[in-house]
Amino acid sequence: MSPDQIRQQVEAIYGVMPSGPLWKQYLTYVGNVFRGDFGDSMLNPGQGVLSIIASALPWTVILVGVSLIISFVIGLVIGTILAAYPDTTFSKVMTGVVSFLSAVPNYLIAIVLIYLLADLNHFFPITGAYSNNTVPGLNPPFIGSVLYHAALPMAAYVIVSFGAWSLAMKGSVTTVLGADYVRAAEARGLGGRRVTQTYIGRNAMLPMITNLAVSVGYMFGGSVFIETYFSYPGLGFRLISAVNSRDYSLMMGCFILITVAVVVSNFVVDLIYPVVDPRILKPASRKARLTTPPPQAELPGAEAMNA
């Protein structure tokens, strides 16, 4: 086969113009992206990148999305306890535990869980998203199989993630605990539960919401190591397969999805912030801006302090 024939086949299969000017190739690619056309996979000719991403995205949302929510909630609770009761035995021990877990690589946790719970004791399956003898659909056997196969990867993700969330929440709550309005509320004799929920919790949540938004954006890239070790057919597994096989079309599609997801997540956070702290929408005078502490160190509803 001559070089010209090879070039013609490449143009027909992948829709590219190897002999055309670079600027024209780039503009054609950008135009196709805005239309949702990422081209065909180089590893699987004839199969569109968008269809591959669409087939892998639900598995990533199930695995990483649910795991992210679980680890975030656990981290908030533990971090608040560590900051509110720093001198207890539980706080001292748990601080060491979460510090250790936040430093352990996620692939190491995955390997340990696979060895202990799948290979050694056969409590959970090692690979796949569901059993081959189940029929995909909204039926109890298939749903049960999906949850059963996702249990071990979810456990690995939660164990790796909740330590970092706990330390972040502990630092945020510790900062808020030293604020003047918290000491003033305690001096007024307000109940500990009201101080914790209204004065501390909402202010400490502001930086955590920002971190969560970034994590939600990156969630669409999947968890590369965990999905790879468990052969879970999510976006992370597809992305690492594309890197290993040099499937540039699929790689670009995944990276664009992650970028758009991060931007959209941060935009949604800007809409959620006023719900958590309504004062963000209120115009402040120059004097107030100079004398008022940052939002995360303020009282949500300062009118209650002046009543």
Residue 180: how many other CB atoms lie within 10 Å:
12
34-49: average pLDDT:
82
Rounded Cα gap, residues 97 and 196, in angstroms:
24
Which CATH number belongs to the domain containing residue 136 in this structure?
A: 1.10.3720.10
What is the pLDDT averaged over residues 257-277?
Answer: 84
Q: pLDDT at position 298, please?
A: 42
User: How much is the pLDDT for 166?
Assistant: 93
Whether 28 maps to a domain, the answer reads no
pLDDT of amino acid 152: 92
Percentage of the chain lying above the pLDDT 90 cut: 19
**3-state class (DSSP) for residue 8:** helix
**Average pLDDT rounded to a whole number, residues 3-24:** 69
Cα–Cα distance measured from residue 7 to residue 9, given in angstroms and rounded to the nearest whole number? 5
Average pLDDT over residues 36-55: 84
CA nearest to 224, candidates 184, 191, 255 = 255
Task: Please state the separation of Cα 249 from the chain's center in Å.
Answer: 24
pLDDT tier at 96 (50, 70, 90 boundaries)? Answer: very high
46 vs 99, higher pLDDT = 99
pLDDT in tens, 117-173: 988 888 988 888 888 888 888 888 899 999 999 999 999 999 989 999 999 999 988
* Bridge partner list, 48: 40
Query: What does the mean pLDDT of the chain come to?
Result: 81
Question: Tell me, what's the pLDDT at 23?
Answer: 82
Mean pLDDT of 21-29: 81
Residue 131 makes CB contacts below 8 A (sequence gap 6+) with: 125, 145, 149
Quick check: is 103 in a domain? yes
Categorize the per-residue pLDDT at 35 as very low, low, confident or very high, splitting at 50, 70 and 90.
confident
Domain membership of residue 108 (yes or no) is yes
Confidence at residue 247, expressed as pLDDT on a 0 to 100 scale: 87
Q: Taking 90 as the threshold, does the pLDDT of residue 213 lie above it?
A: no
> Domain of 67?
49-277
**Looking at residue 297, what is its pLDDT?**
40
Record the tokens describing residue 30, joined without a space.
Answer: 């950008």
Q: What is the pLDDT of residue 95?
A: 92
Q: What is the mean pLDDT of residues 202-215?
A: 84
Task: Tell me what percent of the residues of the chain surpass a pLDDT of 70.
Answer: 83
> Which is nearest to 154 in space by CA: 269, 44, 208, 234?
234
Residue of 211, 255, 259, 260 lying closest to 235 (CA atoms):
255
The CB-based long-range contact list for 239-245 (8 Å cut-off, 24+ gap) reads: 241/43, 242/41, 242/43, 245/42, 245/43
- pLDDT value of position 11: 67
In a domain, 225, yes or no: yes
Tally of domains in the chain: 1
User: Lowest-pLDDT range, 6-15, 19-28, 99-108, 160-169?
Assistant: 6-15
Average pLDDT over residues 193-213: 79
Taking the CA of residue 42 as centre, how many other CA atoms within 13 Å lie in the half-sphere pointing to its CB?
17
> Who contacts 110 (Cβ-Cβ below 8 Å, separation ≥6)?
153, 156, 225, 226, 229, 230
User: Is residue 43 scored above 70 in pLDDT?
Assistant: yes
What confidence tier does 1 reach under pLDDT thresholds 50, 70, 90?
A: low
Two structure tokens written together for 142: 């298939």
| Per-residue pLDDT, 31 | 87
Is 23 inside a domain boundary? no
Burial bucket for residue 37 (CB in 10 Å: 0-12, 13-18, 19+): middle
